């Protein structure tokens, strides 16, 4: 990741400082819970993309720093809410916030981060940037709701029938829109011409899709110590992602029934993850998903071929390559 971050190291440090100065609250506990999760680290991939996009487009001001913090605030808010929805135990190597302070406080802290994000957007005073932030947060909420309905959490019927197209729609809403927004906001700051803005946003969308596809593989075959979170959560929650979608399309009727028994059972079988992972491996569901992720990265890079060679473009491509190579 050195090639990805080397141009923006100083700005990334300023973003870290921004985290601390922007989270003041009349309720100190809200600040503490938010800062605890932010201080656990994380890849900081999304804010870095905004900084690189702004730099590539020639931006010389300072608003990129608080806006990069906003992107990470929104991402952190979604993690807090996701952990409540998924009843998670661990986040970034430590007990998740819902385990430490309870579900209600986790939800309130996520709401607090969303409000702080919009307040910063309003302070900056660029309507198009604010529209981008609102559109992204709306899509994130809709994506989560769509997924909950598919897993039977809110009046839906849990089932294993989901198409690749439907899964792609979930990925776009749940992950890719925020990464795309980070790229677009950098372009807006730099007053890039509309074709370049759209190219950068499309690159971000492609990278975001690939990012989630790799995540969906790692949820089966990742190393928990490296990931710093439990694997198999998606399967236990009844979430059918691309590796399993591909497997269901190619396995035998008996194997499909076995998968359904694991996914639809009231109590998740102790060997459920192992059994399903073996079937995905048998039908090369992981290979298929990694290859799909690589194709999205290639398409994203193609959108930026309108740009001449530059260190910023090289850094963006390095970040894109990391997405499909990463195991964390």
The contacts of residue 155 (CB under 8 Å, 6+ apart) are 149
Structural contact between residues 273 and 235, judged by C-beta atoms closer than 8 angstroms: yes
Ranges of each domain in the chain: 2-325
Q: Determine phi and psi for 90, rounding to 5 degrees.
A: -135, 145
pLDDT score for 157? 59
Protein fold of 2-325 = Farnesyl Diphosphate Synthase (1.10.600)
Binned average pLDDT, 10 residues per bin, the chain of 328 residues? 92 94 90 88 92 98 98 94 82 79 89 95 96 96 87 62 94 97 99 98 99 96 82 88 97 96 86 96 98 98 97 98 88
The contacts of residue 16 (CB under 8 Å, 6+ apart) are none
pLDDT score for 83? 86
pLDDT score for 156? 52
Q: Residue 234 and residue 8: Cα distance in Å, rounded?
A: 34
pLDDT score for 237? 84
Residue 305: exposed, middle, or buried by beta-carbon count in 10 A (0-12, 13-18, 19+)?
exposed
- Distance between the two ends of the chain, CA-based, in angstroms? 12
Q: Residue 243 and residue 212: Cα distance in Å, rounded?
A: 12
Tell me the three state secondary structure of residue 90.
strand
Distance, CA of 102 to chain centre: 23
pLDDT score for 152? 58
pLDDT score for 297? 98
Structural contact between residues 50 and 67, judged by C-beta atoms closer than 8 angstroms: yes
pLDDT digits 0-9 by tens, 123-148 = 999 999 999 999 999 999 999 888 88
Q: Give, for 91, the enclosing helix (H) or strand (E).
A: strand 90-91
């Amino acid at each position: 990741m050195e090639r990805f971050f080397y141009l923006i190291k100083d700005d990334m440090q300023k973003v870290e400082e921004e985290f601390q100065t922007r989270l003041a609250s009349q309720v100190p506990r809200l600040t503490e819970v938010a800062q605890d999760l932010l201080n656990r680290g994380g890849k900081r991939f999304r804010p870095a993309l905004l900084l690189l996009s702004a730099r590539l487009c020639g931006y010389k001001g300072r608003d990129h720093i608080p806006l990069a913090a906003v992107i990470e605030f929104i991402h952190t808010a979604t993690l807090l809410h996701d952990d409540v929805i998924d009843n998670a135990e661990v986040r970034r190597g430590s007990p998740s916030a819902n385990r430490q302070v309870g579900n209600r406080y986790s939800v309130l802290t996520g709401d607090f981060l969303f409000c702080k994000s919009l307040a910063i957007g309003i302070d900056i005073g660029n309507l198009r940037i604010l529209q981008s932030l609102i559109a992204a947060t709306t899509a994130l909420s809709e994506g989560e709701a769509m997924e909950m309905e598919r897993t039977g959490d809110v009046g839906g019927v849990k089932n294993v029938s989901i198409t690749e197209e439907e899964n792609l729609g979930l990925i776009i809403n749940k992950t890719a829109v925020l990464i795309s927004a980070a790229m677009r906001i950098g372009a807006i700051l730099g007053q890039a011409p509309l074709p370049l803005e759209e190219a950068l946003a499309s690159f971000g969308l492609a990278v975001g899709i690939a990012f989630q596809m790799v995540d969906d593989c790692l949820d089966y075959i990742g190393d928990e110590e490296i990931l710093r979170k439990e694997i198999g959560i998606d399967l236990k929650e009844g979430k059918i992602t691309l590796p399993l979608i591909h497997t269901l399309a190619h396995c035998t009727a008996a194997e499909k029934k076995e998968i359904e028994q694991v996914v639809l059972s009231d109590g998740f079988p102790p060997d459920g993850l192992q059994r399903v992972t073996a079937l995905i491996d048998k039908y090369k569901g992981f290979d298929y998903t990694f290859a799909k992720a690589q194709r999205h990265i290639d398409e994203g890079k193609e959108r930026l071929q309108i740009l001449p060679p530059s260190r910023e473009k090289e850094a963006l491509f390095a970040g894109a390559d990391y997405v499909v190579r990463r195991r964390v």
